């Protein structure tokens, strides 16, 4: 079974005020093999016609809150968890820099099928929520290096009090996606693999937009 694996070219810090970005992937390149989106009909068209315009609209809608508009995180919860559905996007270029596996909440997928069935902003739901999030400070916590998030929309405005963050987890890995056809579930957090958390936290720094859509 072919699985969706990340495509990343790496990035390095270029001083405190700037980030040296890798060569961006064009949408058609980012969705080429070995990424397999055939089961969900997700691809370059969905990125360019839906995800990217929605992210740009969210940046404009929350311009007073989001200071940095260079890099955005996009999570497409319409795709299964075995797919690399977390995209880091160079917004000025409109191009994907890297893709990553990301977990959704167990409350969004009670049958553990690998698909988001529902979203919730309710505390205790253990579900994922969609909408615009502002990335906050990085910290070291229960899951190691993590980044705080603040929900900016009505459907995710409880994210901070629910401790919805970006963190790493052992239950997110290409090996698990390959062997089980899905990755594990979080309690609503955007959990990525331990191998990739450093790249995600470096590229998606504080004061930026993380936008999730179903």
Per-residue pLDDT averaged across 91-117, rounded? 97
pLDDT of residue 4: 33
Please tell me the distance from the alpha carbon of residue 38 to that of residue 132, in angstroms, as a whole number. 27
For 158, the domain range is 23-213
Predicted TM-score (pTM) of this structure = 0.83
Per-residue pLDDT averaged across 163-192, rounded? 97
For the chain, what is the domain count? 1
What CATH number is associated with residue 103? 2.40.440.10
pLDDT of residue 200: 97
Q: Are strands 209-213 and 71-76 parallel, antiparallel or unpaired?
A: parallel
Task: Give a yes or no: residue 88 inside a domain.
Answer: yes
Backbone angles phi, psi at 58, to 5 degrees: -65, -40
Task: Give a yes or no: residue 40 inside a domain.
Answer: yes
pLDDT of residue 21: 39
Task: Give a yes or no: residue 9 inside a domain.
Answer: no
Distance of CA 89 to the CA centre of its chain: 10
Please tell me the distance from the alpha carbon of residue 69 to that of residue 21, in angstroms, as a whole number. 14
Task: Give a yes or no: residue 171 inside a domain.
Answer: yes
Task: Give a yes or no: residue 5 inside a domain.
Answer: no
Cis status of the peptide bond prior to 10, with omega within 30 of 0: no
What are 116-167's pLDDT values in tens digits?
999 999 999 999 999 999 999 999 999 999 999 999 999 999 999 999 999 9
Task: Give a yes or no: residue 162 inside a domain.
Answer: yes
* pLDDT greater at residue 8 or residue 188: 188
Question: Is 66 in contact with 133 (CB distance < 8 Å)?
Answer: no
pLDDT of residue 45: 85
pLDDT of residue 35: 39
Task: Give a yes or no: residue 87 inside a domain.
Answer: yes
Q: Which of 41, 122, 123, 113 is nearest to 76 (CA)?
A: 41
pLDDT of residue 42: 53
What are 5-61's pLDDT values in tens digits?
344 433 323 332 333 334 445 444 444 333 333 333 357 788 999 999 999 999 999
Binned at pLDDT 50, 70 and 90, residue 201 comes out as very high
State how far the alpha carbon of 199 is from the alpha carbons of 117, 138, 140, 196, 205, in Å. Answer: 29, 13, 15, 5, 10
Name, in order, each residue with C-beta under 8 angstroms of 172's C-beta and a sequence gap of 6 or more: 101, 102, 103, 183, 184, 191, 192, 193
Task: Give a yes or no: residue 140 inside a domain.
Answer: yes
């Amino acid at each position: 079974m072919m699985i969706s694996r990340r495509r990343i070219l790496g990035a390095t810090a270029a001083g405190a005020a700037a980030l040296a970005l890798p060569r961006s992937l064009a949408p058609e390149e980012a969705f080429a093999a070995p990424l397999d989106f055939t089961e969900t009909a997700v691809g370059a068209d969905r990125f360019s016609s839906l995800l990217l315009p929605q992210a740009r609209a969210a940046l404009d809608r929350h311009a007073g809150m989001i200071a940095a508009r260079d890099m955005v995180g996009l999570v497409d919860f319409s795709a299964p968890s075995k797919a690399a559905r977390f995209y880091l996007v160079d917004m000025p270029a409109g191009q994907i820099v890297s893709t990553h596996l990301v977990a959704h909440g167990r409350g969004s997928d009670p049958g553990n099928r690998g698909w988001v069935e529902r979203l919730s902003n309710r505390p205790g739901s253990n579900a994922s929520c969609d909408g615009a999030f502002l990335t906050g400070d990085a910290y070291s916590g229960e899951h190691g290096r993590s980044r705080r998030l603040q929900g900016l929309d009505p459907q995710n405005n409880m994210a901070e009090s629910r401790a919805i963050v970006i963190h790493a987890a052992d239950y997110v890995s290409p090996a698990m996606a390959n062997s089980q056809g899905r990755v594990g579930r979080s309690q609503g957090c955007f959990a990525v693999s331990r191998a990739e958390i450093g790249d995600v936290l470096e590229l998606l720094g504080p004061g930026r937009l993380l936008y999730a859509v179903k």
